[in-house]
Structure 1
Amino acid sequence: MKIARLGPVGREIPVVYAPAMDGGEEEAYDARSITGDIDGAFLAAGGVARLRSALTAGTLPVLPDAANLRIGSPIARPGNVVCIGMNYAAHAAESGAAAPEAPVVFLKPSNTVAGPYDDAPIPPGSRNYDWEVELGIVIGREASYLDNPVDAMAAVAGYLVGNDLSERAYQVAGAAGQWTKGKSLPKSTPLGPWLVPAEDVDPGNLRLRSWVNGEDRQDSTTADLIFDVPTVVHHVSQYMLLEPGDVILTGTPEGVALSGRYAYLQDGDVVDLEIECLGRQRQVYVRTPAPRAPAQAEAACTEIGTTSSK
C-alpha cells in the first residue's frame, strides 16, 4: 500500500495506490471518504489501518484521471522537519569531518516541503546548491523521552524519499555559515512520491541512489547508516516532542557536489532520486531571478508613470 496526495498545491486529494480489485494493474483509489488529508491528525487516529481496511473491503472508488494529476508531498505540511547530519561515514569523510559519535540533529522549516516532481528553484546568487537523497521517517504518534530504540519503532507511521537541498556557501563558508541558513530555502525539501506504511517495508537495508542529468551520483544502502532508524527516533525524542506528521530525514550517503568530485546544480539540471520500495522523484532546477534593488524598482516605476502620462 502506497499513500499519496494528488492535485494542485493546497488542493491535494488523498489517495492510496494498490493493485486493482480484479488483480490487474495498480490503481489510485480516492481516500476522501476516510480522510480530508494525509496529516498528523489522520496518522494519530489510526488512519493507515482504516485505509487498509477500506481497501480490503473494496469501498474506495478509483480516482478518475489520477495519472494526469500533480503528485504532491505525501504528507501535508509537517509540524517539524528534523534532520540528521553526517549519518553515513563516507559522506562525513567527503565533507571533511570525522564520523559523529552521537547523532547530529538540526531542523528545516516545514515551509520548505515541496512535491517530488515540482520544479526546484535555485536561490538568487546561489553558487553551491547541492542535492542529498535521504530516507525519511514519518512519525505517527507522540514520542517524548522514549525508553529505548525498540519502543521508538512504535512511533513510526512509515517512510518516504526526501531530498535535503543545501546551499553550501550559506551552510559552511565563513564565520556566518550555518546549517539553518543553508538548508531553509524555498522548496528545498521535496518529499515523496509516496508514504509507505512502516509494516510494509524494512528500513534497515534499502538502496538509495541519485543521478544528475542521468549520470550516477549516489549509490548506497541504509545498512550503512551510522545511526539506524530506531536509534535516530529514540535519540531525537530525548530532546524534543515528536508529533504525528513530523518528518525525520536520516542523512545522505556520499556522492554530493560538496565532495569536490561533481559540479553544483545549475539552471536546467535534472536530478533523480530513488529509494528501493519507496519510489523515485525528479526535479528540474530553475534559477530564481535576483530581486531588483529598491532604487531600480523605483526608477522603473517612475519610467512607467512617465510613459503612461505621455
Structure 2
Amino acid sequence: MTMRFATCEHRGEVFAGVLDREGEHLFAVPDGTTVLDLVRSGLPAALEAGRAALTGSAVPVDQVRWLPPLEPPTVRDFVAFEEHVDGVVASVSGRNGVVPEWYEAPTFYFTDPHALVGAHDDVPVPPGSREFDFELEVACVVGRDAASPAPNEVEIFGYTIFHDWSARDLQRREMEVGLGPAKGTDSATTLGPWLVTADELEPFRDAEGLLALEERVAVNGVEVGRDLLSNMGWPFEELVAYAGRGTHVRAGDVLGSGTCGNGGCLAELWGRSGTQQPPPLRPGDVVEMTVEGLGTTRNTVVESAALPPVLPPARVRPRHRERRP
C-alpha cells in the first residue's frame, strides 16, 4: 500500500498526516510522530503507522497550510540534466556548452535546510536581487543510513517536488570567485506538497532505471517549461551513492535532481536566446509546478525583506608577516 505523508498546520497546530487516496482529507499520525520519524523507522513501519492513522479523525485539505513534508538533516542539490547545463551556463557564467567534467560524475552542492518553505507559501525576492528565477526539480528522500553505499544498496523512502528558487545576479557574482552558489540559492526552497512513497512510482520506471515522470512549470498560468524526469543523466540511486561515497548519507536526507531541461528555469531560456525573455520573476508572479504522481506546488512571489545594504567591500591588506604597533 502506497502512502502520501505530509506535514501541515491546522488551527495553529503542526502535525504529520496521511492523505486519503482521493486527496481530500488528511489523517493525523498520533503521538506527535513526525514525517522524519516515519522515514527513520523504515518503510514497512511507516506504512503500518499510515494505515493506522487512516482509521482516525480527518481534516479537509482545504483547511490546512502545507508545510515542507519533513525537516531533513541535510539538503543536497545536484545538476543532473545535461540540457539544463547546456542552456544555463551561458546565462550564469558567459561560457558555452557543457564542460567535460560534468559527464564524469554527478555534481552537487549543499543548500540550506532551514530555508525550506511550503507548497503554497509566499516567497520573497532575495534582498538585492533583480534576476529572480524558479527551478523545477524532483527530490528523493533517503530511507536508510549508509556509508559508501553501492547504487543497488541505496534505499529511497520517497519523492517530492523540489523548487530551488535562485537569484541569478547574486549567483553570477559568487561563481566568478569559483565557489558557490550560496546566497544566490539559499533564500528559499519549496518542498512538497507531500512525500510520496517510492513504491507508488515504480510503474513509471523505464528500462534504464529512470523515472519517466512528466514535469511542468507555469508562471501566471502560462506554461514555460516541460520535461521528463527520465532525462536525468543518472538515476537517483546513483546520485545517493555518489553523495555517500567516502562518507555517509542519513535517513531523511533530501537530494534534488537538479533543474530539468526545456524551460525548467528562466536562466536556461535566457542563455539560449541571449535575452531576458521571459523576464525575471517579480512580486505578484505565481509559479506553479506539477510533477506527475507528486502533485502541484503554487507559490506567489512577494516583495523582498527590508534589510540594510550588504557589508562593505573587503579591506585591502598589506600582507605583513609580523605584528605592527
TM bracket (short chain):
0.7 to 0.9
CA 1:3 to 1:58, structure 2 compared with 1: closer, same or farther past 3 Å?
closer
CA RMSD of aligned residues (A): 2.4
Residue 56 and residue 81 in structure 1: after superposition, are their counterparts in 2 closer, same or farther (change >3 A)? closer
Picking from 24, 35, 39, the partner of 1:38 is: 35
Indicate yes or no: 2:269 matched with 1:283. Answer: no
Aligned-partner SS, 1:233 = helix
CA distance in 2, matches of 1:291, 1:57: 47
Q: Indicate the residue corresponding to 2:20 in structure 1.
A: 18
Contact 1:133 1:274 in 2 (8 A): no
Please name the residue that 2:283 is paired with. Answer: 267
Q: 2:236 aligns with which of 229, 237, 251?
A: 229
Could you tell me how far apart the structure 1 residues matched to 2:267 and 2:135 are? 10
**2:59 and 2:237 mapped to 1: Cα distance?**
39
Identical positions, percent: 25
The one of 62, 65, 71 equivalent to 2:66 is 71
Q: Which runs of 5+ in 2 are unaligned?
A: 90-96, 206-210, 271-276, 310-325
- Superimposed CA distance per residue, residues 257-295 of structure 1 (whole angstroms, 9 cap, x where no aligned partner): 1131421110110000111001100100001143256xx
Aligned to 2:157: 157
After the TM superposition, list the runs of 4 or more consecutive aligned residues in structure 1 that deviate by more than 6 angstroms.
none
Match of 2:86?
Answer: 93
Q: How does 1:29-178 map to 2 (within 5 A)?
A: 29-33=27-31, 35-39=32-36, 41-46=37-42, 48-54=43-49, 56=51, 60-75=55-70, 77-85=71-79, 87-96=80-89, 97-98=97-98, 100-101=102-103, 102-146=105-149, 148-152=150-154, 155-173=155-173, 175-176=176-177, 178=180
Query: Shift of the alpha carbon at 1:245?
Result: 1.2
User: Which residue number in structure 2 is paired with residue 27 of structure 1?
Assistant: 25
Cα deviation 1:186-205 (Å, max 9, x = unaligned)? xx111001101111113611
Deviation at 1:71, TM superposition (A): 0.8
Structure-1 separation of matches of 2:235 and 2:117 = 25
> TM-score if structure 2 supplies the norm length?
0.79
Kept in 2: contact 1:83–1:251 (CA 8 A): yes
| Structure 1: runs of 5 or more not aligned | 294-310
Q: Is the 8 A contact 1:7 1:69 kept in 2?
A: yes
2:306 alignment partner AA: A
The structural deviation recorded for 1:65 is: 4.3
Q: Which residue of 2 aligns with 1:242?
A: 249
Distance (whole Å) between structure 2 residues aligned to residue 110 and residue 241 of structure 1: 17
Distance 1:84 1:61, change over 3 A: same
Report how far residue 56 of structure 1 moved. Answer: 4.5
| Contact 2:18–2:54 under 8 Å retained in 1 | no
Any residues of structure 2 matched to 1:159-238 within 5 Å, and which?
159-173=159-173, 175-176=176-177, 178-185=180-187, 188-202=188-202, 204-238=211-245
* Other structure's SS at 1:36 match: coil
Q: What is the identity, as a one-letter code, of the residue corresponding to 2:129?
A: S
